[in-house]
Amino acid sequence: MNKHISLSKNKTLEVQFELWDEDTNWFEFHFEWSKKCDHAGLDIRIALWKFAFYFSICDNRHWNFNENRWNTYDDEKKC
């Protein structure tokens, strides 16, 4: 199950549940907070045996590393 919810013009909430075929991990936890990069934001992943849960609040925009700013809609159209 994968659910995307628009929180604002540039922010999206994503919640995902998965059931894996194999129990590859007893337990896994991942926490990441990123900024000034493509799709920056909060990313949390938790896995327990065959079950995995993903939670993310991210920015929909891409980061322009050369100019140290978010790309605009016009920038994206030029690509």
For residue range 7-61, what is the model confidence (pLDDT) as tens digits? 999 999 999 999 887 766 688 999 999 999 998 999 999 998 889 999 999 999 9
Q: Model's pTM, two decimal places?
A: 0.72
Distances (CA, A) of 44 to 20, 50, 52, 62, 74: 18, 17, 11, 20, 31
Give me 14's structure tokens.
């994503």
Range of the domain at 47: 2-78
The whole-angstrom separation of Cα 71 and Cα 58 is 15
Domain count for the chain, please give it: 1
